[in-house]
Amino acid sequence: MLTPPGPHEQAITALQQCFHAQREAFMANPMPSAEQRIAWLDSLKAALLSDQDALVRCISEDFGNRSADETLLAEMLPTVQGIRYTRKRLRRWMKPSRRHVGLPFMPASARVIYQPLGVVGIIVPWNYPLFLAVAPLVGALAAGNRVMLKLSEATPRTSQRLQALLATVFPAEWVSVVLGEAEVGMAFAKLPFDHLLFTGATSIGRHVMRAAAENLTPVTLELGGKSPAIVSADVPLNHAAERIAFGKTLNAGQTCVAPDYVLVPHDRVEGFVEAYRQAVQRLYPQVDGNPDYTSIINTRQHQRLSDYLDDARDKGATVIALTTAGAERRMSQTLLLNVDDSMRVMQDEIFGPLLPVVPYERLSDALAYIAARPRPLALYYFGYDRSEQQHVLHHSHSGGVCLNDTLMHVAQDDMPFGGVGASGMGHYHGHEGFLTFSKAKGVLIKQRFNPARLIYPPYGKALQKLVYKLFIR
């Protein structure tokens, strides 16, 4: 007797059917016009704006609490601005670009045309469920692709709302949204996409890349890692502390580019601790009951962070809680002193409101400390000396950099966003996103006259020898 397929098998079957439907639809229209792509972007922006109150509410409900202002600033604003930026420049990006033809190959012309890849898969994390879904979607649509999104099971209300919203804008053969647990996510990664973008933890990124490799699917991996902040020997501590505090407290530290630890000159540690305490308490005078302060997403993540604290304390770290903890998983912003590499908080990406402080003697020591570890997604340097800034840029590797700020480089549409090494590979946002989701196809064009016949076999002709003399030198 045959056992009927369960919900899991049914979900995977539906997933595969959706993929094949998108692939067939793409083959029927492999080069959408600029007008069609712009219409997609306009419709998407209008739908997001009309539904923004509901999206904000769903995100807050999924987290337990997240300020509407935080969602508007960190998700809705960069999403809408990114659509507007892309729409304005799309026609120019789509134009074939002329390329030089070498003299030995004349007469001929050359150009690069930017062709849609086909069907693009996007795996979305839970920490910014709107922005990290729509930003890559915009790049993929601008490039003319069909898109399948796998939304996070950790934000069920937002995922369902976004699924319903996108269904009102796009037919399923253009854009489809997949919901489900980790098993569905792995089945999603195994589909033979023409490109796959994953945002999430490095450990999961390895599995995604391994699954994609079976189909030779190219991947863009936006991972994380331990992004350092360096406080220089002479920057005003209140300047550095306030900007680091903003980057660490936004979304309660649940940000892939949040400062993960801060390197401070040995003789400035005490002053930094006090400046940071004042900055945090200005931003969030209290945690409990404060509508501005974001909760940890769920009990599992809250327990993980609590375990990090216990492990650090047990191994000798000094734990400085800057606020009292609150209900509904509102975790205190906390500094950790006297940390070492044996502590989990110094091994794993924290992704929460814990900030280790690592003292250093010379700037070269701080840079050596960073260089000895996996390359981070972001690096932050605080100091106004231009020569020191250049030194840091030239002697460090990271996905992106802010000088005298945190996070803000991610919101710049005219800059690529991506990791390096363990923090990811590939780029998107703006023009780089369009290029990531396009095939740059080189085209050489010749007409009737073909002087290349003069170098065809049989070899040994005098003209061939002249060509060698003229061009191989």
Write the DSSP string, 138-171. Answer: HHHHHTT-EEEEE--TTSHHHHHHHHHHHHHHS-
User: Which residue pairs from 396-401 have beta carbons closer than 8 angstroms and sit at least 24 positions apart in sequence?
Assistant: 396/367, 396/370, 396/371, 397/371, 397/421, 398/227, 398/423, 399/375, 399/423, 399/424, 400/257
3-class state of residue 295 by DSSP: coil
According to the model, what pLDDT value does residue 4 have?
57
Q: What is the CATH T-level fold of the domain 7-223+426-440, as seen in this structure?
A: Aldehyde Dehydrogenase; Chain A, domain 1 (3.40.605)
pTM: 0.95
Gyration radius (Cα) of the chain, Å: 26
Q: Which of 70, 222, 388, 432 is catalytic?
A: 222
The question of whether 402 is a catalytic residue gets the answer: no
The question of whether 256 is a catalytic residue gets the answer: yes
According to the model, what pLDDT value does residue 303 have?
97
According to the model, what pLDDT value does residue 453 have?
84
According to the model, what pLDDT value does residue 6 have?
64
Residue 460 CB burial class (10 angstroms; 0-12, 13-18, ≥19): exposed
According to the model, what pLDDT value does residue 470 have?
87
Task: Give the residue from 353, 331, 398, 402 showing the smallest Cα distance to 254.
Answer: 353
Spatial distance between the Cα atoms of 235 and 362, rounded to a whole number of angstroms = 14
Pick left, alpha or beta for residue 325 (phi over 0 → left; psi -120 to 50 → alpha; otherwise beta): beta
Spatial distance between the Cα atoms of 252 and 330, rounded to a whole number of angstroms = 8
Q: Which two tokens stand for residue 290?
A: 């404060």
Helices (H) and strands (E) in the chain, counts: 16, 16
* pLDDT beneath 70, residues of the chain: 1-7
Under CATH, domain 228-413 is a member of which superfamily? Aldehyde Dehydrogenase; Chain A, domain 2 (3.40.309.10)
Task: Give the residue from 369, 391, 368 showing the smallest Cα distance to 381.
Answer: 391
User: Quick check: 244 and 275 in contact, CB under 8 A?
Assistant: no
3-class state of residue 319 by DSSP: strand
What is the DSSP-derived secondary structure letter of residue 101? -
Domain boundaries, given as residue ranges, for the chain:
7-223+426-440, 228-413
Spatial distance between the Cα atoms of 440 and 433, rounded to a whole number of angstroms = 13
Q: Which of 256, 349, 402, 432 is catalytic?
A: 256
